[in-house]
A and B are shown apart, each in its own frame.
Chain A
Amino acid sequence: MNIIKFLDEFTSENLSAKTSSRREAFSTLGSLGKKAALTAIPFGLATSSGKAFAAQDQNAAIGALQLALTLEYLEAEFYLKALNSGVLPGGSKAEAIYEQISKHESAHVEFLKSGLGENSIESPEFDFTAGGAFDPFNNNGAGQEVAYAQLLALAQAFEDTGVRAYKGQAGNLMGTQFLTPALQIHSVEARHASEIRRLRADVMGENLDQNALGWITLDNRGPGMPEATQAVYDGEENVVQGGVNLVDATAFGDVAVSQAYDEPMDGQTASNIAGLFIVS
């Protein structure tokens, strides 16, 4: 079976060749954060090629877990700040959902730090405005309504990215004790993604829109999602699994077939997306 080449795209070789230290890599990502001030720059396209994610070790598994920890740091801080922002309606279903997700993301941070031990990395400094492109916590005068929309949109982008990024690292964790826990985190991220997507749909009154359900249709980012988030969804339109074209092999079209499978994301793309929100 000839399915994907993702293993080639995130090998330890790439990591060691392109990045000599975490500090250097994060300073690279830091400059990306500033570039992101241009709203026109979409997620994942703000960097030139050849800038790999920060990995201190050549071991692919450790690199995979460090990428995971970076994404978890980003999510954990995002949800804590969201809950403290006053943007979520007090006592609302949305607030309860953010509380539950926040609890999990903070737990994932601790779990991965402890799993990585001496290979653990410290949290980068995040800027959830992406250099002024967003104002999800309503700190810069966007207003409650705009901030809330961005709070939901960023959560969806982070969760859908998390699902794809963990999936992209599964091969690097094969044969290690970390594979099963990583899968267990991965499916929690998918539960989060489903709920955030459905919450957004409810808030927008779009819960009968195929592009706003708990699963991803083709490469549609969904109604109301900023164009800058398109990199999160590119490639999700795939309908060929294990060499089998499932539109031809089943009674269903590309909408249902693409929904039925989430696609992996390589480490480079995931770190580029995270990099938009990393200052240093």
Chain B
Amino acid sequence: MKKPMIKVQQEYSASNGNNSSRRKFLKMGSLAVVGSGFLLSCSDDDDLMDPVDRGDVFDLGSGDVGILNYAYALEQLEAAFYTNVLDGSYWMNASAEERLILEDLYKHEVIHRDFFKAAINQAVGGDTSKVLPELEFDFASVDFSDRSSVLGTARVLEDTGVAAYNGAGSLLTTPDYLVIAGKIVSVEARHAAAIRSIFMDDPKAFAGDDVVDENGLDLARSPSQILTAVGDTGFVKTQFTANQLPG
């Protein structure tokens, strides 16, 4: 059975690159669209037969391995972003506190990324055809010499990470994986709070009303919502599909 295949459309004009409009774009739910090579087709039906054959386009897979590959994709994105941050002139000239925070975030995300690679390899018994390959990224839309561009993007990535893990927890069937996701999501939330705190003027922004609702609940988004938003950023160059993920 063929799945619907969504090719994320380009809507963001590269000329529309001033910081305030970028920040607006980068809010959850209206993520910036800066070109895309990302193919997404999450299905809400229960039929997990026959992933669409895309030749060498990787599919995240089904079940817990699919969710782990999904998390691995997000951690690859975050790690690549902070690697670029530490190569950029904003970070090199930033205040000591901001340098320290961003350097820690870089380390944590690289550690998360490398963990998922090892954990998925272990989960699939070393069958590397089931492990998401190393993705290529394009951060041309981020100005790594500009504080607002760097911290604004960091904020979106961290809040997105929180929403993604919160939304994926109930899809996991292995208790150990749920606990590991929990160990990571709270660190992502610590990151999000710190970035918001140094970047946004509002002293309540660390857990602002834009991310925490009236019940005191944080963001939670399904994989399809997250992958659409991530696809819309245009940061991910390598195509992959999510044909078998729930949600």
Contacts and interface: CB of A to CB of B under 8 A. Distances in A.
Q: Is the interface of B mostly helix, strand, loop or mixed?
A: helix
Contact of B179 (A6, A100, A108, A184): A6
Interface in A240-269: 241-244, 246, 249-252, 256-257, 259-264
Interface in A81-124: 93, 96-97, 99-101, 103-108, 110-111
B123 A180 contact: no
Contacts of A93: 203
B138 interface: no
Contacts of A210: 100
Interface residues of B, number: 56
Interface string B153-189: 0000000001001110110001111111011111111
Given A3-B180, A171-B175, A99 B114 contact: no
Interface stretch (B127-135, B144-152, B213-221): B213-221
Interface stretch (B26-34, B46-54, B103-111): B103-111
Interface stretch (A30-38, A48-56, A186-194, A221-229): A186-194
Interface in B102-125: 104, 107-108, 110-112, 114-115, 118-119, 122-123
A2 B123 CA distance: 12
Contact of A260 (B107, B122, B167, B216): B107
Given A111-B216, A184-B220, A191-B206, A215 B100 contact: no
A166 B179 CA distance: 10
Interface stretch (B85-93, B191-199, B228-236): B191-199
Counting chain B CB atoms within 10 Å of each CB, the highest count among A104, A105, A170, A188 belongs to: A188
Q: Is the interface of A mostly helix, strand, loop or mixed?
A: helix
A214 interface: yes
Interface residues of A, number: 66
A183 B179 CA distance: 11
B101 interface: yes
Contact of B180 (A106, A215, A242): A242
Counting chain B CB atoms within 10 Å of each CB, the highest count among A6, A110, A192, A260 belongs to: A260
A174 B207 CA distance: 26
A224 B143 CA distance: 39
Contact of B104 (A105, A184, A259): A259
Interface string B19-38: 00000000000000000000
Given A3-B180, A191-B192, A262-B183, A252 B203 contact: no
Given A188-B217, A242-B119, A170 B182 contact: yes
B178 A171 contact: yes
A97 B112 contact: no
23 contacts: A107-B214, A167-B183, A167-B186, A170-B169, A170-B178, A186-B182, A187-B166, A187-B189, A192-B193, A193-B190, A194-B197, A195-B197, A198-B194, A208-B96, A215-B190, A249-B118, A256-B107, A256-B108, A259-B108, A259-B187, A260-B107, A260-B184, A264-B179
